[in-house]
Amino acid sequence: MNRNKNLQQAKTDREWDVVIIGGGATGLGIAVDAASRGFSTLLLERVDFAKGTSSRSTKLVHGGVRYLAQGDIALVREALRERGRLSKNAPHLFKSETFIIPGEKWWTAYYYTFGLWLYDRLSGDLSIGHTRYLNKNQANQSLKGVKPEKLNNGVCYYDGQFDDARLAVNLAQTAIEQGASLVNYCEVVGLDKNTTGKICGVQAKDVLSGESFAVRAKCVINATGVFTNEINRMDNPNEMDGIVPSQGIHIVIDREFLPNESALMVPKTSDGRVLFAVPWHDKLVVGTTDTLVKNAEYEPRPLEQEVEFILQTAKDYFVKAPTRADVRSVFVGLRPLAAPKGENKSTKEVSRSHKIHISSSGLVDIIGGKWTTYRQMAEDALDAAMKANILPKKQCVTTDLKIHGHHPADMNSHLGFYGSDRTYIEQLAASDSKLGSRIHPDYPFLYAEALWAVREEMAQTLEDVLARRIRLLFLDARAASAVAEDVANYIAPELNKDAIWVEQQVNEFRQLCKQYHF
């Protein structure tokens, strides 16, 4: 992926079939769908791909056990179907993960086994494993880090696990391979309308150079997630807020707290939430919370009560209780939920299904949803634009479309997440001792990956490299801060940057790292 080439394509005086605002899961999915249908497609992202919500998930590709308990069968069936499709279309990123629900009471496992049997049935031919009851001995063997008194029995079921930001990069690459143009660090600052009041393009600004330019389009899609309201107000300054942000935090701790390969799923915590503890990149991701917040931000901060809730729940279940000192990183994401109807409605009650709205001026809004259903969301958004006669009818082809990097899974090495690109990174690493060396002695990431991120994956900043191309910030914020200067100095020549840029990048990134640890 070459940003300069894509930027030049964006600035040409052409009319695009589809212009997408937002480069998270939804926008990237739409770019892949639109380009593969044969539409000329441009995506503009204000910061970096998956900078917001889409890099801050629980790392699950799941049907939503909680939605099943709420009786939302249609959403669960859709998500399970999409989970199965992703496992086939991006096998290098998808891991079938064993989840165990601990049974404290004699009846717990029987109760959940029945519900999860239905979960399996809903997945049909795309099932990735079968639910089974675990007796006391089996449950304790499977979750050695969990207190025995919580494991009088258990139930084992299967769901998907993945690396969210890496899938985002692969979707961007796939979209470009299908003929789309994608530009990160390019902000939409206004919407253009014709004499009949219909949207006919956008005003864009290259964040890195400050240059502004106009883009003409037949169809403009707002896929900005928690920032949806901002774009809607460009369309109609009197527009009521359509989404409300809900904050969720995760803490990252060492695997010693749950040393088995299985993940823990607590179906009902003290306040009725679901809590997961999921192995990820040789760490353990524990979360999440669900708290309404007023403002959408790229770097939301964890609230004290959220941190305490997760640590306390972990203490209730883990033999060795994690403390603040054990937290390697804490990351916070915002969910774009459809605004609750009624003052007292909690975010837990708001549907996670996606919604599409087309304004009177023709702006296509897509809100809600989750990573698992990104492909279906994209299909639905474009189908809605066709139904409204904004675009001509063309068939969706993404059901079986292979995503960039498609390769049999290899979870034994972190390089396995690169799929078919792994060979090129290994060749880079073998070509030079520096490229083959580790960025940090405690982690497997190589300087070859940093160079690859800049050359081939459109990384423009130190944060792009260490947060989303290489996941070090999310795995260990202190370690990421420690290597910041070395990595910035290494990538600067490739980006044609000077010592002033390096100093600025290091200072900004280290300031950011402070938000990710206590």
Write out pLDDT tens, residues 258-289.
Answer: 998 999 999 888 777 789 999 999 999 999 89
**In angstroms, how far is the first alpha carbon of the chain from the final one?**
36
Per residue in 103-126, pLDDT (tens digit) is: 988 777 888 887 888 888 888 888
Q: Where are the domains of the chain?
A: 3-53+165-241+348-387, 93-161+244-338, 414-516
Assign residue 2 a region (left: φ > 0; alpha: ψ between -120 and 50; beta: otherwise): beta
CATH fold of the domain at 93-161+244-338: D-Amino Acid Oxidase; Chain A, domain 2 (3.30.9)
Other CB atoms within 10 Å distance of the CB of residue 213: 15
Model pLDDT, residue 75: 86
The dihedral through the CA atoms of 166, 168, 172, 178 has a sign that is positive
DSSP string, 332-363: EEEEEEEPPSSTT--GGGS--S-EEEE-TT-P
**Cα–Cα distance for residue pair 306/308, rounded to 1 Å:** 5
Q: pLDDT digits over 329-366, tens only?
A: 999 999 888 765 554 445 554 556 788 999 999 999 99
pLDDT tens digits, 364-399: 999 988 899 999 999 999 999 999 999 999 999 999
DSSP 101: E
Separation of CA 34 from chain center: 20
Q: How confident is the model at residue 415 (pLDDT cuts 50, 70, 90)?
A: very high
CA distance 110 to 133: 7
| CATH superfamily for domain 3-53+165-241+348-387 | FAD/NAD(P)-binding domain (3.50.50.60)
Distance, in Å, from the CA atom of 154 to the CA atom of 100, rounded to the nearest integer, reads 7
Q: Are 403 and 90 in contact (CB under 8 A)?
A: yes
Beta-carbon contacts of residue 215 (< 8 Å; ≥ 6 apart): 10, 16, 19, 42, 44, 201, 202, 203, 204
| Residues 401 and 36 sit within 8 Å (Cβ to Cβ) | yes
Task: In whole angstroms, give the CA distance from residue 144 to residue 141.
Answer: 6
For 311-334, what is the mean pLDDT? Answer: 96
Burial class (CB in 10 A: 0-12, 13-18, 19+), 260: middle
Bigger pLDDT: 220 or 119? Answer: 220
Instruction: Give the mean pLDDT of the chain.
Output: 93
Beta bridge pairs of residue 189: none
Q: What is the pLDDT of residues 242-259, one digit of tens each?
A: 888 999 999 999 999 999
Q: Comparing C-alpha atoms, which of 439, 492, 441 is closest to residue 466?
A: 439
| The two three-digit tokens of residue 393, written as one number | 């009818």
* Tens of pLDDT, residues 28-74: 999 999 999 999 999 999 999 999 999 999 999 988 777 777 777 88
Task: Using the predicted structure, report yes or no on whether residue 485 has a pLDDT greater than 80.
Answer: yes
Q: Does the domain spanning 414-516 belong to CATH 1.10.8?
A: yes
Give the tokens for residue 500. 């002033």
